[in-house]
């Protein structure tokens, strides 16, 4: 596979935060963070991914119903690779049941399959590269209380109470990542409302700060209306800007 660093950097579902180690971050007790579900099934939002003034790719987030559960999907494309992932979650709690991710590059394919059961998550990686034997690797992690799969992050953050100085922490299971799977504590804080301009228009938005071990700081802007659409996301390197919304 080509450019694993770029794969990680452009994949929203795996941005949080596979390579971090614990530090003396401010301690906030973990808890379940879902407050209300703002979306309709079938919703699809599209984004342009920017690095400064340069377009790096495109992204799509989609929400579907599947046998009474929710399938939260992401798709990212640039000239070098396609990266598609999804996580199946309980519709009200957003707790993960299973997930999958397929990264297709010029030289091969990486498939990651994730299954949650009995307080444990099992992750199998299957790498297929031209001219080489298929490689398989299995990881297992215990799933603590107040845990959500990292692939659900951008959907999960839409559901928290949007009020100034709201703060909460939860456990993020970085499962379908290119490197080693692990868990981290993620802390959310709602800073304020402000105006945000994106290609689809200018909106009032809630500014949400996302913190994780290792001094990681990211920012997401969600619309201040009842839909709580993700308008803009800054992961510290790339910026995602909303281009279009298709309602379910």
pLDDT for the residue 195 = 98
Question: pLDDT-based confidence at 1, cuts 50/70/90?
Answer: very low
Please say if the pLDDT value at position 87 is more than 80. Answer: yes
CATH number of 4-246: 2.40.360
Mean pLDDT of the chain: 89
Tens of pLDDT, residue by residue over 154-163, are 999 999 999 9
Predicted TM-score of the model (pTM): 0.90
Q: Taking residues 56-84, what's their average pLDDT?
A: 95
Please say if the pLDDT value at position 82 is more than 60. Answer: yes
Q: Taking residues 227-241, what's their average pLDDT?
A: 95
The residue among 108, 109, 101, 103 whose CA lies nearest residue 175 is 101
SS3 155: helix
CB-neighbour burial class of residue 78 (10 A; exposed 0-12, middle 13-18, buried 19+):
middle
Q: Taking residues 21-43, what's their average pLDDT?
A: 81
Q: With pLDDT > 90 as the criterion, what percentage of the chain qualifies? A: 78
Please say if the pLDDT value at position 227 is more than 90. Answer: yes
Please say if the pLDDT value at position 189 is more than 80. Answer: yes
pLDDT for the residue 178 = 86
Q: Taking residues 220-248, what's their average pLDDT?
A: 95
Q: Are 148 and 171 contacting, i.e. CB atoms less than 8 angstroms apart?
A: yes
pLDDT for the residue 240 = 97
Question: pLDDT-based confidence at 25, cuts 50/70/90?
Answer: very low
Could you tell me the residue ranges of all domains in the chain?
4-246
Please say if the pLDDT value at position 21 is more than 90. Answer: no
Tens of pLDDT, residue by residue over 111-155, are 999 999 999 999 999 999 887 889 999 999 999 999 999 999 999
Question: pLDDT-based confidence at 76, cuts 50/70/90?
Answer: very high
pLDDT for the residue 26 = 57
∠ CA(71), CA(72), CA(78), 5° rounding?
130
The sign of the dihedral angle between the CA atoms of 187, 193, 197, 203 is positive
* DSSP letter string, 5-39: HHHHHT-GGGTTTTT-----PPP--B---------
List the beta strands (DSSP E) in the chain: 44-51, 54-66, 69-78, 81-89, 96-105, 108-117, 120-129, 135-142, 147-149, 167-174, 182-198, 201-212, 216-223, 230-234, 239-246
pLDDT for the residue 5 = 32
pLDDT for the residue 3 = 34
């Amino acid at each position: 596979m080509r450019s694993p660093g770029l794969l990680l950097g452009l994949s929203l579902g795996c941005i949080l935060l596979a390579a971090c180690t614990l530090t003396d971050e401010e301690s906030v007790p973990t808890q379940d963070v879902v407050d209300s579900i703002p979306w309709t099934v079938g919703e699809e939002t599209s984004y342009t991914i920017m690095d400064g003034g340069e377009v790096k790719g495109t992204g799509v987030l989609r929400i579907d119903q599947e046998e009474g559960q929710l399938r939260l999907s992401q798709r990212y494309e640039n000239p070098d690779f396609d990266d598609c992932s999804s996580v199946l979650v309980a519709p009200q709690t957003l707790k993960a049941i299973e997930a999958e991710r397929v990264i297709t590059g010029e030289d091969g394919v990486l498939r990651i399959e994730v299954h949650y059961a009995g307080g444990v998550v099992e992750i199998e990686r299957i790498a297929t590269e031209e001219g080489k034997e298929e490689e398989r690797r299995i990881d297992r992690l215990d799933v603590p209380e107040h845990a959500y799969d990292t692939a659900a992050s951008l959907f999960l953050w839409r559901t928290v109470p949007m009020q100034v100085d709201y703060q909460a922490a939860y456990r993020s299971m970085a499962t379908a990542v290119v490197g080693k799977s692990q868990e981290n504590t993620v802390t959310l804080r709602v800073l304020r409302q402000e105006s945000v301009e994106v290609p689809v228009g200018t909106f009032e938005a809630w500014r949400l700060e996302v913190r994780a071990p290792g001094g990681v700081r990211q920012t997401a802007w969600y619309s201040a209306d009842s839909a709580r659409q993700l308008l803009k996301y800054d992961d510290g390197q790339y910026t995602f800007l909303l281009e279009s919304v298709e309602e379910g």
